[in-house]
């Protein structure tokens, strides 16, 4: 017997998903990383999981996609665990930008020229450079191990096709990284920093992996299914705050009003979100709106959150 609330969700979910499907036609699959353009345009899937380990799924929840910017939440947490708050926040700020995720505008405009926050590319590239490890390999391995543990899935791996595709074409991120070096935020070999960044963006997951990772955040850093404490509560609090204020980039205000949950999106169409203490949620819908968030995914979360009265505000 499932708990009553998740049973209600199980009954309603197919209808909510159906109602969001028309939105896929309004979105566009990302193509600036050429390999991402192969994703199915009309896919939409969701998995929700509660601390008892009960889960509900609908649609294309088995679709595999790369984490892209969703990984930024966890590299931030790992960098905080490696270095502490003071060291991390000497290199990256705490404020939303109101600009696109890959904008470098404010790096020149505002002094000191450190990235505004760790959820935009400039901030996340900086965070990747702070992950402990002797080599890009060692840093990347630590990130992948951390994500495997959070997802309770030892099979997580990189999508090397997406990695190469981004590494071959990522001139904007390269420009950002060189600009950050000029500003004294990054040092050393920029290609090595970008290798770590592109690799963690290319980790392949499905909705269940995201839901399980989100569940750990929903439970303040402990995995309710194993009882293991994986993240200090303070660092979950910091990540949760960034997700709420910057996780959906320059649509974070609108998402806070329409959905009202901490969330992080990626250009592959994934969204990781959670209801504190109650559900971890993974969504995928590769067709994006003009802010780089899943068009139908946001619509679906909006319906569920409204119906279930989940807004934290
Ligand atoms: N790897 C992507 C990039 O740097 C991540 C961006 C995103 O998901 N918004 O462009």
127 is catalytic: no
What is the rounded average pLDDT for all residues in the chain?
Answer: 97
pLDDT single digits (tens) 226-267:
999 999 999 999 999 999 999 999 999 999 999 999 999 999
Per-residue confidence (pLDDT) for residue 98, from 0 to 100: 84
Distance from residue 221's CA to the centre of ligand 1 (Å): 25
| Predicted TM-score (pTM) of this structure | 0.97
pLDDT at 61 over 70: yes
To which residue do tokens 């992080």 refer? Answer: 264
pLDDT the model gives residue 1: 66
Q: What is the mean pLDDT of residues 289-300?
A: 97
Has residue 167 got a pLDDT over 70? Answer: yes
167 lines ligand 1 (CB under 6 A): no
CATH class assigned to 4-65+205-307 = alpha beta
Q: How far is CA 148 from CA 66, 110, 145, 233, in A?
A: 14, 38, 5, 19
Q: How far apart, in whole angstroms, are the C-alpha atoms of residue 208 and residue 224?
A: 15
Residue with CA nearest ligand 1 atom 4: 121
pLDDT, average across residues 82-88: 98
* Delimiting residues of CATH 3.40.710.10 domain(s) in the chain: 4-65+205-307, 69-201
What local confidence, expressed as pLDDT, does residue 3 receive? 83
The reported pLDDT for the residue numbered 251 is 96
Judged against a pLDDT cut of 80, whether residue 211 lies above it is answered with yes
* Share above pLDDT 70 across residues of the chain, in percent, rounded to a whole number: 100
Give the residue from 273, 275, 254, 253 showing the smallest Cα distance to 264.
273
What are the C-alpha distances in Å from 20 to residues 16, 25, 58, 267, 291?
Answer: 6, 10, 12, 19, 18
Task: State in words which class domain 69-201 has.
Answer: alpha beta
Phi, psi of 143 (to 5 degrees): -65, -45
Cα 170 to averaged position of ligand 1 atoms, centre (Å): 10
38 as an active site residue: the answer is no
Statement: residue 130 has pLDDT above 70: yes
Catalytic: 267? yes
| Distance separating the N- and C-terminal Cα atoms of the chain | 31
């Amino acid at each position: 017997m499932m708990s009553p609330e998740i049973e209600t969700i199980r009954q309603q979910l197919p209808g909510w998903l159906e109602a969001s499907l028309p939105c896929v036609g309004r979105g566009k699959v990302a193509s600036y990383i050429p390999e991402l353009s192969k994703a199915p345009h009309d896919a939409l899937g969701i998995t929700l999981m509660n601390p008892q380990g009960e889960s509900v799924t609908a649609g294309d929840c088995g679709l595999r996609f790369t984490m892209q910017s969703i990984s930024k939440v966890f590299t931030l947490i790992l960098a905080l665990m490696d270095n502490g708050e003071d060291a991390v926040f000497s290199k990256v700020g705490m404020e939303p930008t109101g600009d696109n995720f890959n904008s470098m505008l404010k790096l020149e405009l505002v002094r000191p020229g450190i990235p505004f926050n760790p959820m935009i590319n400039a901030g996340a590239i900086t965070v990747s450079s702070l992950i402990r490890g002797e080599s890009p390999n060692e840093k990347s391995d630590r990130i992948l191990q951390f994500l495997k543990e959070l997802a309770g899935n030892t099979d997580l791996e990189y999508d090397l096709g997406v990695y190469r595709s981004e590494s071959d074409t990522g001139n904007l991120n390269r420009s950002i990284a060189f600009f950050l070096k000029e500003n004294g935020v990054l040092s050393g070999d920029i290609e090595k920093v970008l290798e770590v960044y592109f690799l963690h963006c290319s980790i392949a997951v499905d909705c269940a992996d995201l839901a399980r990772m989100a569940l750990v955040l929903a439970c303040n850093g402990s995995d309710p299914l194993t009882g293991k404490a994986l993240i200090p509560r303070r660092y979950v609090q910091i990540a949760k705050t960034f997700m709420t204020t910057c996780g959906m980039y320059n649509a974070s205000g609108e998402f806070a009003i329409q959905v009202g949950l901490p969330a992080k999106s990626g250009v592959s169409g994934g969204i990781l979100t959670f209801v504190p203490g109650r559900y971890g949620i993974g969504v995928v819908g590769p067709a994006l709106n003009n802010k780089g968030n899943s068009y139908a995914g946001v619509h679906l979360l909006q319906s569920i959150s409204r119906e279930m009265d989940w807004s934290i505000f």
